[in-house]
Amino acid sequence: MSELALLGAEIVAVSLLVLGLYFPRHRRRDLVVAYFGVNIGVLAVADALRTSTTATGLGLGFALFGVLSIIRLRSTELDQHEVAYFFSALALGLLGALDTASIWRNIALMGLILLVMGIADNRRLFSRYRQQIVVLDSAVTDQAELVSRLEELLGAKVHSARSQRVDLINDSTVVDVRYAMSSRRSAAPVNPVSPAAYAVHR
């Protein structure tokens, strides 16, 4: 009975993670399928290995999932927040199948995962801070001048400006910029899906 209760709690938890947190905030239907598939796959295999009498098989199984958990699937590139949801779905699947002295401990850990993801992925948290790839139409090699131009262009405080490519022939600079918007400008909608890349012309 406790196993069924834990399974039910796991299904509710992954549904809240994917349909309650991820999809309303990021709207990627393909990853909804991926998260549910990863979660149920891990849950099924972990449960099968748990009931196995071979300790070696159990160890190999968890080692396999440890390897799989660090692979970023690249059919389309995953952003960092999508990787976090991927790990969360995997962790919920494991918690739903692991033996425990009390199912409430596993359920509490599931709740902790949901709580952390709900807070950490809130659009209002650090909403002033942005990251963009900016393409300037001139080759800028001086760091102070680069920061000054970016702050004027973005109307923001630049915290980091790392040149990815300086093209002296075509007269262009590609910069990875980390910056903080002013309170007034940060009120504009933020795209949470991926960093924007755009060309800037003077």
Please indicate whether residue 198 or residue 202 has the higher confidence score (pLDDT). 198
pLDDT score for 127:
83
pLDDT score for 80:
85
pLDDT score for 49:
74
pTM of the model: 0.74
Q: Write out pLDDT tens, residues 89-148.
A: 988 998 998 877 788 999 999 999 999 999 999 988 888 899 999 999 999 999 999 999
Asked whether the beta carbons of 149 and 202 are under 8 A apart, the reply is no
Q: Which two tokens stand for residue 175?
A: 């910069």
Mean pLDDT of 28-55: 82
- CA geometry: angle 126, 181, 191, nearest 5 deg: 65
Per-residue DSSP letter, 85 = H
pLDDT score for 159:
94
pLDDT score for 38:
87
Nearest in space to 13 (alpha carbons), one of 80, 79, 88, 102: 88
Asked whether the beta carbons of 181 and 128 are under 8 A apart, the reply is yes
Q: Which two tokens stand for residue 69?
A: 């958990």
Span between the terminal Cα atoms of the chain, in Å? 68
Q: Which two tokens stand for residue 83?
A: 């990787």
Other C-beta atoms closer than 10 Å to the C-beta of 198 total: 8
Residue 109 one-letter amino acid: L
Distance CA 148, CA 150 (A): 5
Please indicate whether residue 62 or residue 36 has the higher confidence score (pLDDT). 36
Q: Write out pLDDT tens, residues 155-200.
A: 999 999 999 999 999 999 999 999 998 765 555 544 433 333 444 4
